[in-house]
Structure 1
């Protein structure tokens, strides 16, 4: 076996699947093995790794038998390896397409396209002991002139016999690759067995907030000790001095690693030349210019906004109210979605905590008379945001509030992701309308809890909203109603909508298109209603971006329900859902009722925004039921009964198993007990 790829998998649940696929999916990766090392217990990463191992004999899963340390995990993987060469990757790294073939060409004697290192032959003639790879790093080191001198295990391939002969091992803690990687490079360079592959083979994706390497604390002082150990093990090699200075300066210059109060101590511990006071003066000058720019921007704001912000800054010095929670939903549209369900359950389980909603002035008429609220941007809003202990939202709070120590922020989200979200939207800049991805990351960094409806969501949220928050795999509280609904409740909602008993009700709920303005259904609703006959009713709900579903007919059998306050009740009233790419399909699956995918522009939608699930594939778990891509096809699905045929039921069951594993009617209770600290006794 030529190559053993060791992947360490800890707190990378949103990245790991793509990382493993980048190795197993290589066209020329047949002569390799993939060893995935997980933490004890493993969490979601262990489940993902086992999925790959079950379907690919080249994949080996190795749970660590001690508390997690990346260095120990790498060492365990190296000990279990059987390949002639070792490549160490992190769980968020990608082996780029075609890299395996290029690497094999360099490591196989006399292979066409082989890159021969200069100097004496290696253990196997013509092949290196250490092969340096071109690498694409999306991290701190890309911004340093000496980046190529800095140690990254992912950027080298090591002959296993060479690794073992020199007793190379990763150290514990941060910067675990400083000693072994530099030692290997120096040894191979001295022996003339250091090769280079001038091709980008590995891409490193940085987690952002919450990743250990970017945590700002004194743990980063260990890099100084790592270089002291390296100097001792190499006999004071002068080449170590040069890379040491480059690396320690880079760590010091990174504001995400060394806190301001620790900079002088790190500077002294590192023994860097020059005076820290001069460096601090330079930083102060830069900060002063930044403050001046901020003041200029503030000067352009309205006087009222400035007054409100000043009052808010004053309120930030007030003590937090342990009995105050603030809620928001859909960018201040009123009481809705998961926050509404959490609010209702909190009133039951923690009645001493007063809940206040944030609503925009244009939506204040939607507020129930018995629900306290504040208008966004008002004096009451800013005081509430400054003093509330609990913050609950399914989108974001307006105005750029400052999250205080002691505040607890629950992000509930508002759907299972089908289309790309968060940082995954970066390849589609034309459709993000100037969205600031830095702000997305900063907002996610404020969260303490992120709610997920299913394992798929947990993976996606973890990657696209980088944060150190706790993922809550509890299900969506808004779906508790769907899980516990009775026929009596469904009948009550139908009666309120004026639906005659015995009618077959279809809920048509298409989603928003980034590349289209206004609601324009790709469906002649009047014609469909006429062809289905008098015993059928179409409930039409446009996306909330559009307001009302203009263009739909009035009457008893085509009913515009866009303005209905609770989509969950519309789901209960219906016998089946017709949708295209709306996340409502994932919630509707809780009901175990038919879902019909009507996707007339699937390829355009995927190209414009990107998707995580292939609805039209027909694969169990991806496709929720019957599929139509034309109006004629949809009519055939409905009139022939294919929408509730055994084949559609089997697809629905697999879809429901994948996306509704937590839905049991008690999600709101689990959330309230965890976030508000309520005992289950």
Structure 2
């Protein structure tokens, strides 16, 4: 007999689902089953569930043909559960190591009907807050009923911190409501009915505080569901039970506390709904006020209770405004002080910036140019990557849109003829940024760029992520260059669209950048060229590079090591060319960051080894080459589109994965052959292992995973959605 059945509703959690499932299925205690309910999730959650179910028979998946909501999904899962106990877990949270065994031990010790476990809140910036009620867990009796230890009322009213005996749930015949706050009647109905409650004074659940997507951070009228759910608690309350009068008072106080939490959070209620919500608070206060009153809190909290009782919404709002004004004053004084010191240090620079930013602010007040799109790539390094591909497609498919590129002054000479551009930092630059309808970039725009209402920001990205990005870097501090994660999220908050190259990338970006954008899983526009290029195109590019017919061209493109500046993998061009053979040609391309200052110059091998770091189009280098040698660079994902041999040369793999962090083991799931030393790389070319059956099979599997959207029409899909407003 299974001890614990985990019931996990799943909806739009593709960035978090793996962590949740791993936290259950990889624990040492294995007498569990997991019932995952795919609540008609529109993302890739269903595929992830299928992947896990295929390799672990303890996971069963129920797929719903329409979205029913978290409450009904839990009901469906509970109906299928066979375990002695039920543990409802949210699919964006995860369990602590050893939590299941600790729970199992506590259940055996206490024979509890309900076991409440402690939890910790984990914020997007990696801050962890222990639960406040958890500090009192040690005070509780080993086993109790709610009347004996009513402090349990103040423990967070959610299903996921409770492990419940299945026969108790069946006896209650409880059904979760649809909509939000469905956990209120569940929690208090269960606690009032149970005679054997126990606590586990140990953090078992990590409660993810999402920046976007969670109900608690969603603005709208869905929060009015709190009223009927609390009404259910009191309408079904049994006043004949022992200790009922005291429990009613404490539940009432908890209800008003909960109302005030929701009313006080501007991430939940828009201004137009706050008055009506306050009226609902007052109505419930008067309707359910216990005879003889209740233990009202003191201080400012008690004042809020009295204002709710009296229906004094305007006074309540004025009180909130007063508190905020005081906070603003304190922050402003600190900011002015800091800026004053800065001005003293750099008056001229600040004055110049003030003039240009003032001009920018003036331009922001002018009408938006509904036909203007501004593009940029690689921090203004020139005309490249996905933005360039979208620019070209827009000229054909959306001729009414006028495109302008932003480029650094030292890169202006690289701009193709006929492409309009502005110099970064110029007055025209600020005017263009301020008035453009569309802003398309493969990196974030600078902090001072304002997203004005009605504008559309498109983040194209510039690679499929192997190394961890965004918030996921917090777990790998040794590889972090920009540790201002709050700033990263503010910049990502400007995105309207995030373009991804495949489902894997979609999942990783949604984890790394949990913001309110729409994902366009279109494939990368820059790779259209790789699909549509003809044999004549390849010949033309090779001739431009001086490559003779019949030459075997190897492109070597290592990545940058943020954690190890200046590092280059052991590499000798002469030895590699000798291994390739007399018809070999080597193209060496360093990363676009700082490595190009140290890129190989004259190799002494005439034209057989050439530094192509400054070559403007990496896509043309892909097309000109026959084999790619790389390490952890995203170039492997793009090059795989060509279905040509790829070699992963990873001499520092263990150090890289531990310090920089990666999303998967590229040596276990490679795009081709893998070597970890330069002598092995030479042997690979001497023996033909570059493209033997094993390497070809690995490449085929890699392509199925990452290249299915590369059909030559990715840029067209982006243009149709972004510029023409077509949904498909």
> Do both share a fold (TM > 0.5)?
yes
Residues 182/384 of structure 1: CA separation in 2 closer, same or farther (3 Å cut): farther
1:623 aligns with 2:670: yes
Q: Does 1:558 align with 2:558?
A: no
Aligned length: 657
Residue of structure 2 in register with 1:26 after alignment: 27
Change beyond 3 A, Cα 1:319–1:595: same
Instruction: Give the drift of 1:422.
Output: 0.7
453, 456, 463: which is aligned to 2:511?
463
For residue 87 of structure 1, what is the aligned residue in structure 2? 87
Match of 2:346 in 1: none
Query: What is aligned with 2:16?
Result: 15
Q: 2:683 aligns to what? A: 636
Question: Given that residues 576 and 594 in structure 1 are in contact (C-alpha distance below 8 angstroms), is that contact kept between their aligned partners in structure 2?
Answer: yes
Counterpart for residue 250 of structure 2: 239
Bigger drift between 499-508 and 485-494 goes to 485-494
Relative distance call for 1:327 and 1:68 in structure 2 (3 A) is farther
Within the alignment, does 1:497 sit opposite 2:548 as a pair? no
Partner Cα distance (1:293, 1:310) in 2: 23
Q: Would you say the 8 A contact 2:123–2:210 is kept in 1?
A: no
Give 1:97's aligned residue.
Answer: 97
- Between the aligned partners of 1:542 and 1:385, the Cα distance in structure 2 is 31
Q: Which moved more, 1:229-238 or 1:139-148?
A: 139-148
Partners of 1:680 and 1:9 lie apart in 2 by 25
- Give the corresponding residue for 2:648: 597
**2:167 match:** 161
Shift of 1:209: 2.2
Task: Please state whether the residue corresponding to 1:62 is helix, strand or coil.
Answer: strand
Correspondence for 2:119 = 135
Q: 2: CA distance between counterparts of 1:399 and 1:654?
A: 40
Three-state SS of the structure 2 residue aligned to 1:234 is coil
Greater shift, 416-425 or 316-325, is seen at 316-325
Native 8 Å contact 1:150 1:247 kept in 2: no
Deviates more, 1:535-544 or 1:431-440: 431-440
How far, CA to CA, are the matches of 2:167 and 2:91 in structure 1? 25
Contact 2:575 2:682 in 1 (8 A): no
Give the Cα–Cα distance (whole angstroms) in 1 for the partners of residues 401 and 442 of structure 2: 20
Is 2:661 aligned against 1:610?
yes
- Which of 196, 200, 222 in structure 1 is aligned with 2:203? 200
Residue 334 (structure 1) aligned to one of 382, 404, 411: 382
2:708 matches 1:661: yes
Corresponding residue SS for 1:90: coil
In 2, distance between residues paired with 1:623 and 1:346? 35
Structure 2 match to 1:570:
621
1:185–1:359 CA distance, 2 compared to 1 (3 A)? farther
Shift of 1:518: 2.6
> 1:142 deviation in Å?
4.5
Call closer, same or farther: CA 1:47–1:429 in 2, change over 3 Å: same
Report the equivalent of 1:182: 188
Where does 1:120-519 land on structure 2 (aligned, <5 Å)? 127-138=111-122, 142=129, 149-188=155-194, 191=195, 193-234=196-237, 237-259=248-270, 263=274, 266-271=277-282, 272-273=304-305, 274=307, 275-276=315-316, 277-296=318-337, 300=342, 302-518=350-566
User: How far apart in 1 are the matches of 2:519 and 2:727?
Assistant: 20
CA distance in 2, matches of 1:446, 1:74: 35
What runs of 5+ residues in structure 2 fail to find an aligned partner?
Answer: 135-153, 239-244, 283-303, 308-314, 344-349
CA distance in 2, matches of 1:79, 1:606: 43
Answer with 1 or 2: which has the greater Rg: 2
> Partner of 1:312: helix, strand, or coil?
helix
Deviation digits for residues 650-678 of structure 1 (CA, Å, limit 9, x no counterpart): 11111111110111111111111111126
Q: What is the Cα deviation at residue 48 of structure 1?
A: 1.4
Q: What's the TM-score, normalizing by structure 2? A: 0.86
Aligned equivalents of 1:296, 1:382: Cα separation in 2: 28
| Larger mean Cα displacement after TM superposition, 588-597 or 277-286 | 277-286
Q: With structure 1 as the length reference, what TM-score do the two structures score?
A: 0.91
Superposed CA RMSD: 2.3
What is the aligned partner in structure 2 of residue 69 from structure 1? Answer: 69
Structure 1 range deviating more: 582-591 or 244-253: 244-253
CA contact 1:144–1:250 (8 Å) conserved in 2: no
Contact 1:520 1:551 in 2 (8 A): no
- Structure 1 window deviating more from structure 2 (669-678 vs 471-480): it is 669-678
State which drifts further: 224-233 or 412-421: 224-233
Aligned pairs for 1:513-592 within 5 A: 513-518=561-566, 520-545=568-593, 546-552=595-601, 553-554=603-604, 555-592=606-643
Shift of 1:354: 0.5
Q: Which runs of 5+ in 1 are unaligned?
A: 109-113, 117-126
TM-aligned CA deviation for residue 176 of structure 1: 1.9
Q: Residues of 1 paired with 2:236 and 2:475: CA distance?
A: 45
Distance 1:177 1:680, change over 3 A: closer
Identify if the C-alpha distance between structure 1 residues 568 and 515 changes in structure 2 by more than 3 Å, giving closer, same or farther. Answer: same
